[in-house]
Amino acid sequence: MYVGQLEFFNSHAPTGLKSFASALCMASISLGNYVSSLLVSIVMKISTREDFPGWIPGNLSKGHLDRFYFLLAGLIAADFVVYLVCAKWYKYIKSEASFSESMVGEEV
């Protein structure tokens, strides 16, 4: 996913904002890592009880990792629906800067 995201940011950003687009790409990846850690913490807090070790205990044989994976599958499905909506609304607009760069590349 990282390579595709970086390619999207680099190909669709104006020339002066390419480094900002790369930084935005890295920031989104780091934010995703924090969100995944937060998700594991929330699941552990909600699923752990006094008589039940939770979905992701230290001894995985005593937990229900399958429920966690079903939760992830549901979140991924919801994310895919959001992606489809955003992709349907997205319209590529070729800026003048990228147009002039492509014209220079064709002349060479």
Report the C-alpha gap between 104 and 106 in whole angstroms: 5
CA-to-CA separations, 85 to 11, 54, 55, 88, in angstroms, rounded: 21, 35, 32, 5
In the DSSP assignment, the letter for residue 94 is -
SS3 category, 79: helix
pTM of the predicted protein model: 0.69
pLDDT tens-digit series, residues 50-104:
888 889 888 888 888 999 999 999 999 999 999 999 999 988 777 655 555 555 5
User: Cβ(43)–Cβ(27) under 8 Å?
Assistant: no
Residue 9, CA atoms < 13 Å, CB-side half-sphere: 18
In this structure, the number of other CB atoms found within 10 A of the CB of residue 9 comes to 19
**For tokens 């002066």, what's the residue?**
16
SS3 category, 8: helix
pLDDT tens-digit series, residues 8-46:
877 888 888 888 888 888 898 899 999 999 999 999 999
Domains of the chain, by residue range, sit at: 2-107
